[in-house]
Amino acid sequence: MAQRRRRSPKALCTLCGANMSLQMSRRNSCRVGICGNRASSSEWHARRRGSSCSYFSSGAQSDDFSVSLSQPIFTITLRFLLAIDLWLSKRLGVCACEESPWGSIRPLVRLVELSGHVIPWLVGTLYTLFRGETVVEQEIMLNLALALLLDLLLVRVVKTLVRRRRPAQSRSDILSTFFVERYSFPSGHATRAAMCARFLLAQMVDTASMRVLVLAWAALVSLSRLLLARHYVTDVGFGLVMGYCQYSLVERLWLRQSTVGCTTLV
């Protein structure tokens, strides 16, 4: 029988050290794998939470407002004003998502937003136009319908020319608005609110209480665009001025009772 070879003490120490190092490496790899899984899961949850309200994330805006002294004074002033516009818009966007500071009143603000959409206004105006009993009522509704169509046309032209991007916001509420547009400047809700408010005050409203209600509605619709982070402050401000001036154009293009009577007979 072959005799077993005796290993030297040095070889035994080397073998034990190799086994210990192998066990330690296995433990470390397991710990690293567990920690990596935990880190990846925590990172996934953080991304998920951040994606639900991206408007308030630090990297939500990619606009560059860096200023150098070599630039013209007009460029410096414009960048400064845009930076203030961005900062103020983010401050006002307190209903951008459910996790926002005022997220509890978000459904109410969205209801106010819907009241300023063009579809309810067009449907209600056309229904009243065809159901109108007097020529005066039909004249007012016809001109209101034309004013709404004119507002849509002018807003689309300005948005196409300016091409300003909308604020970064959550996409989970995309069903809250119809026909979500790509561009932001100016706010169509603001132009419509200002134009319709001036139209109603000039043609239909004759009491002080109703005038207050109409003005309050226009202000709330415009404010909802900021609270929901749909637009910047300059979008809403320019939209209000644009809508106010649109009514002057509507008055010049006003269709009289004779024209309405001829179209009704036809």
Q: Based on the number of CB atoms within 10 Å of its own CB, is 3 exposed (0-12), middle (13-18) or buried (19 or more)?
A: exposed
Residue 231 catalytic?
yes
Tell me which residue of 159, 228, 227 sits closest to 191, measured CA to CA: 159
Q: Determine the length of the chain.
A: 266
| Whole-angstrom distance, CA of residue 52 vs CA of residue 27 | 38
Rounded to 10 degrees, the C-alpha dihedral 96/219/105/93 comes to 20
CB 151 within 8 A of CB 195: yes
Catalytic residue among 106, 159, 189, 225: 189
One-letter amino acid at 155 equals V
Q: Considering the candidates 155, 231, 236, 238, report the single residue annotated as catalytic.
A: 231
Give the catalytic positions in this structure.
Answer: 189, 231
